[in-house]
Amino acid sequence: MPDQEPGRTPSHRLTDDRSHLTNETFKGLIAVSKEGLERSIREELGINPKNPIELSATLMRVMREISAHDLPRARSLESAAERLVREDLVMPKEGVVVEAHLASFGEVPRIAGDAAEPEEPEDVSAIAGEISKRRLINALIQGGARKGQYLYHLAEPTETAPGIREKYRAFWLINDYEYFLFQDLLEGAVLERADIPPQDPVIQGLEGLLGGRGLMKEIMALGDQIGLRAGKVSVDYSGEFAKIVAYGISFPVLCHELYKGGLELIAAHGLPEDPIIREKVLEHADGIGEEGRSLQLGISLWEKLNKLISAEGVGLRPYVFEQIVRLPHERFHAFIDKLVTDHPDAKETVDALLRAS
C-alpha cells in the first residue's frame, strides 16, 4: 500500500488497491446518471438543462403549485406516505414506529443525530474496510430512496388532484439534476477559494468524491444558508421499537425521506457489532458532506442492483438489500466490484439470495 500523507488514513478509500472501483469508474457512473437526467428534462419538460435560470424558474413555480396542493391535504398525504413506504419495504407496523410530517419550505428542522466531523485526524486503518463498506451502503441508500420519491404513482386517485403528478415528476427531475449542478458548482467554488489546485491528488482521489471533510463541510453549510433543506429523516433506536421521523416539503419528498429511513433501518444490519467500532465507522462514514456524492453514485449502483432482481423477486428487494449489507466487508466489496463491472457473478449472488428467501 502506498505511503499515506501525514494525518491521513485509508479511511477515505471505498475499496482496496485490487478493486476495479477506481475514481474514474465512479465518475463514469455519476456521468451516466447526470446525462440521463439531462435527457429526461429535455424530452419531458421541454426545457434546456444547461440553462440554470430556466431550470430554477421552473422549479420554483412547480414547488409553489405543489405546496398549494399538498399542505391543505397534509394529514391525508402523511398517512398515504407511511402506508406506501411500509407496503413497499414490507415494514411491520408492530416493530417500527413512523412519524411523517409535511412541512412548509424553510420549516424542515435539523434533526439531532446528524453525524459530526471528527475533531482530530486519527488512524482508522484497522477499520478502513468497514468505513468504506458503510460509505457504499450509504450510496445504495441514497440511490434506493429515489424509488420512494416516485411512490406517489401508487397513491389512491382520491388522495391527489388531477395534474399534480406531472408536477411531482417535474420537481424531481430538476431537483435531482440541480443536486449534481449544485455539488459541482460549490466544490469548484470552495476549491478555488481555498487555493487548492484541481489536480491535487486528494481531490483527484476518492476523498474528492465521498470524503473531503473540511471542504465538504463548508459546501453543506453553504447549501443550508440558501435554504436547500427540502426534507430530513432520522432513525431513533433508543426506545422499545425503532422510530423513523421524517419531514418533507411535499408528498413525494416525504415518501423519499421515509423510504430512506426504512433503508437506513435495514442497513443497520451491516454495521459492526462492536459498539465502539460501530460508532467510529459512523463517525467517519456518515459525516457532513457525504450525502451529495452518495446520491450521485447511488443512482447507478441501485439501478444496477435492481436489474439483477427478477420480476418475480421484486417484492423481495428489501430482503436482498439486507442480505447484501450483512456480508463481511471483504465479500461486500467483492460483490459491489462485480456489480459495477456487470460481472455474471453479481447476478448469481442475487439469484442465490432469492432462492434462499
Any idea which residue has 471483504 for its cell?
330
First-to-final CA distance of the chain: 39
Please indicate whether residue 14 or residue 357 has the higher confidence score (pLDDT): 357
162-173 pLDDT, tens per residue?
999 999 999 999
- At residue 184, the pLDDT reads 61
* 248 φ, ψ (degrees, to nearest 5): -155, 150
Helices (H), 41-127: 52-70, 74-89
Cα 264 to Cα 28, 275, 282, distances in angstroms = 26, 17, 12
pTM above 0.85, yes or no: no
Query: Residue 197: pLDDT above 50?
Result: no
- At residue 120, the pLDDT reads 54
Please indicate whether residue 195 or residue 94 has the higher confidence score (pLDDT): 94
Averaged pLDDT for residues 124-146: 90
In one-letter notation, the amino acid at residue 207 is E
Distance CA 200, CA 91 (A): 45
Query: Residue 278: pLDDT above 90?
Result: yes
172-187 pLDDT, tens per residue?
999 888 777 766 655 5
Any idea which residue has 463514469 for its cell?
28
User: What integer best gives the mean pLDDT of the chain?
Assistant: 79
* Residue 291 pLDDT class (50, 70, 90 cuts): low
For the chain, percent helix, then strand, then coil, each to nearest 5?
A: 65, 5, 30
Indicate the domain borders of the chain: 21-356
Distance CA 42, CA 25 (A): 26
CA angle, 182 as apex, 189 and 214 as ends, to 5°? 50
If you compute the radius of gyration of the chain from its CA atoms, what whole number of angstroms results? 20
Distance CA 11, CA 129 (A): 8
Q: How crowded is residue 279: how many other Cβ atoms within 10 Å of its Cβ?
A: 13
Residues in contact with 69: Cβ distance below 8 Å, sequence separation at least 6, in sequence order: 160, 161, 164, 167
3-class secondary structure, 227: coil
Look at 12-16, 150-154, 320-324 and tell me which has the smallest mean pLDDT: 12-16
- At residue 138, the pLDDT reads 92
3-class secondary structure, 156: coil
Query: Residue 192: pLDDT above 80?
Result: no
Averaged pLDDT for residues 261-276: 95
31-64 pLDDT, tens per residue?
888 899 999 999 999 999 988 889 889 999 999 9
Averaged pLDDT for residues 94-118: 75
Residues in the chain: 357
- At residue 220, the pLDDT reads 47
Cα 313 to Cα 14, 91, 324, 336, 350, distances in angstroms = 29, 17, 15, 20, 10
Residues in contact with 289: Cβ distance below 8 Å, sequence separation at least 6, in sequence order: 212, 213, 215, 216, 217, 219, 220
Q: Strands 231-236 and 96-102, how do they pair? A: unpaired
